[in-house]
Chains A and B, each alone.
Chain A
Amino acid sequence: MDARTKIAGDRSRLLTLAAILYGTLGLLALAMPDALSSRLDDLTPSPLVRAAQSGVGSIAVVSNALGIAAVYRAARAQFLATAGLQRD
C-alpha cells in the first residue's frame, strides 16, 4: 500500500468514526431531548448553559413536532409499569 492510499484510508476511517459518534449522539438527542434538558437544568446557570438550553429547546421542539420524544416517553412509561418500578 503506498503512502497516499494509506493516508486516504486513515482519513476515511476517522471520518466514519466521527460520523458514527456524532450521528449516534445527534439521533439520541432528537429521540430523548428530555434527558438533555433535565441534565442542563441541574447545572449552575451561566451563559454557556443558557445557550445549551436554548439549543436543546430547539431540538425538543422538532422532536415533539415529529412525535419522536413521545415514543420514548411511552416506551419508558410502559417499561416502568411492566417492571413495577418507580417513575423517573
Chain B
Amino acid sequence: MLFPTIDFAVFFALVFPVTWSLNSWNFSKKIWLVAASYLFYSFWDWRFLFLLFFSSIGNFCAGLLIGSAKRLGVRRLVLAVAVALNLSVLGYFKYYNFLSLTLSNVLARLGLNVDFGSTEVALPIAISFLTFHGLSYIIDVYRGRIAPSKSAVDLLLYISFFPHLVAGPIVRAHDFLPQLERRSDPSTIRVGQSVFLILGGLFKKVVIASHVSTLFVDPIFVEPTNYGTIDLILGMYAYAVVIYCDFSAYTDIAIGIANLLGYQFPQNFDQPYRALSLQDFWRRWHMTLSTWLRDYLYISLGGNRHGTFATYRNLIITMGLGGLWHGAGLQFIVWGLMHGVGLAVERALGLRQERDAPRRGRFTIFIAWFVTFHFVCIAWVFFRSPSLDAAAAYFGTMFSNPTVPSTITWFVAVWMAVGFLTQLIDASYFRKLQGYYERSPLAAKVLVPFAVIYLIAVLSPVGIPPFIYFQF
C-alpha cells in the first residue's frame, strides 16, 4: 500500500478515529495499531508477517535476557547471538544470492565450477529497516540506554508501526518506546507542520520524482550508451533530484502521519544538497541512518578513539557497510566506499567543519559546495546503476559522445528546476506558512490540502512508481 493512493487514504481514514477513540485505553490502542500495521504490511505479502512477528518477539526475548543477566559475559553472549540472528535473517534474504554468485564467479576464474544455488525467495519488503529497528533495541538495552521492554506489544508496535515500517525514518528504541508507555497527548500534534509535510511529500513524490524518473532518468540508466554527454551529465543531476524527492517524500509523509496519530519521529532530511562538505551532507541526508551507522557501527568499531589511521579505516568500513546495506551489489559497495574515503580525506585535510563557513569567503564557500555536490552526484551514478559495469559504461559514454544531441524536454527541465528549488528555499518560509495555516479558519484548513492534492492529481503522471527505498 503506497502513501499516495486511494487505498492508503481509506486505510488512514479508518485508523485515525479508532486510534484516538482508544487513546484512554493505551494497551487496546497499541493492540489496534499493531493490527493496523500488520494489515498495512500484508498488502505486499502476508507470508512475511510471520517474519515480522517472530523477529519482533525474538528481539523482545533477547532484551529480557540481556536485562536480567547479572554477568557481563552472559549479556555479551546474548547480544552477540541476537545480533547474529538478526543479521543472518537479513543475510539469507538479501545477500545470499549476491554472495553465492560472486563466490561462484571468483572460483570460476580460478577454474573451479561450483554452484552455490540461490534462495529463490522474494526479498521481504523493508527487511533492512526491520533489522535496523531490532538491532537498535537490543544494543540500546545492552548499553543501558533503555530498560528492556516488559511489554511484547510495545516491541511489536515499535518494529511494525506502519508509518516508518517500510522505508523509515529509522526511529530509535529509546526515542519511541517511552512514547508508548502513556496515552498520547493531542496537544503534541503540530497540525500545520504535519499537513505541510504530507502535502510537500506528496508533491515531491508524485509530481517531481515520478515525472523526472520515468521520462528522463530511467531510460538513460537502462541504456546509457544510447545517450550523449549532455544527457548523461543532466541524467546525473536529474537522479540527484529524483532520489531526494522520492526518499525525503516518504519520510516526510511518515513523520506527518505519525504525528497525526500522536507520535513523534525524528527529522530525516535537511536540504542535503546545500552541504559544504561530505560530513555536512551526512548530517542532512537520511539523518536517522547516518546517526544509526555512527552510534551502532562506527563507534562499535572504535570510532576515533584509536588514532588517525584507525579513524580513517573505521569511516571507510562504516560507509562501505552502509553501501552494502542499501543493496546486494558491488555498485552499492563502491558508492559507500567512495563516501567513506571522501570523509576520511576531508578529515585528513581538515575540511569537514561546516561551522567554519561564516568565516570563509564566498568563493571558498562556492567551491566547497560545488565539489561536495558533484562528488555526491557522481557517487549517485553508482547507486542508481544496475551493476558496476553499467556505471562504468555510463561514465565511459559520458566522455565519448559529445556530439549526440540532448533528449531532455522542457517539461522535465521544469520539474528538475523545481526539485532543486526545494534546496534553496529557506526552511523559515515553510515555518511561516505553517503558522499562517494554523491560525487560519477551519474552512481554509480544509481547502488548502484539498487544493494541493487536487493540483497534484492534475499534474501527476499516469501511474505512480513505487518509492525507491522500498527495495532496501
Give the interface of A toward B (CB within 8 A): 6, 9-11, 13-14, 16-25, 27-28, 31-32, 35-36, 39, 72, 75-76, 79, 83-88
- Are A16 and B445 CB-contacts (below 8 A) given A24-B453, A83-B411, A88-B462? yes
Instruction: For residue B450, give the distance in angstroms from its CB to the closest CB of chain A.
Output: 4
B442 within 8 A of A: yes
* Binary contact track B279-295/A, C-beta < 8 Å → 1, others 0: 00000000000000000
Chain A neighbourhood of B189, CB < 8 A: 13, 17
Instruction: For residue B211, give the distance in angstroms from its CB to the closest CB of chain A.
Output: 8
Q: Is the CB of A28 within 8 A of B191?
A: no
- Of B13-21, B174-182, B232-240, the stretch lying at the interface with chain A is B13-21
Q: Is the CB of B442 within 8 A of A9?
A: no
Nearest B residue to A74 via CB reads B458
State which of B191, B447, B462 has its C-beta within 8 Å of the C-beta of A85: B462
Q: Is the CB of B458 within 8 A of A76?
A: yes
- A interface SS class: helix
> What is the number of contacts between chain A and chain B, taking CB atoms within 8 Å?
75
Instruction: For residue A23, give the distance in angstroms from its CB to the closest CB of chain B.
Output: 4
B403 within 8 A of A: no
Q: Is the CB of A19 within 8 A of B457?
A: no
State which of A10, A11, A24 has its C-beta within 8 Å of the C-beta of B450: A24
Instruction: For residue B188, give the distance in angstroms from its CB to the closest CB of chain A.
Output: 10
C-alpha gap A25/B13 in the complex (Å): 9
The 4 closest A-B CB pairs, nearest first, are: A23-B446, A10-B186, A27-B450, A24-B449
6 examples of A-B residue contacts, CB within 8 angstroms? A13-B191, A20-B195, A21-B12, A27-B446, A27-B447, A35-B6
C-alpha gap A83/B462 in the complex (Å): 12
Chain A neighbourhood of B409, CB < 8 A: 84
B260 within 8 A of A: yes
New contact pairs (12) apart from A18-B16, A20-B449, CB-CB < 8 Å = A9-B187, A10-B185, A10-B186, A19-B442, A20-B191, A20-B445, A21-B12, A23-B450, A32-B454, A39-B7, A84-B411, A85-B462
C-alpha gap A14/B260 in the complex (Å): 9
Chain A neighbourhood of B185, CB < 8 A: 10
B9 within 8 A of A: yes
Nearest B residue to A83 via CB reads B411
Instruction: For residue A18, give the distance in angstroms from its CB to the closest CB of chain B.
Output: 7
C-alpha gap A75/B459 in the complex (Å): 9
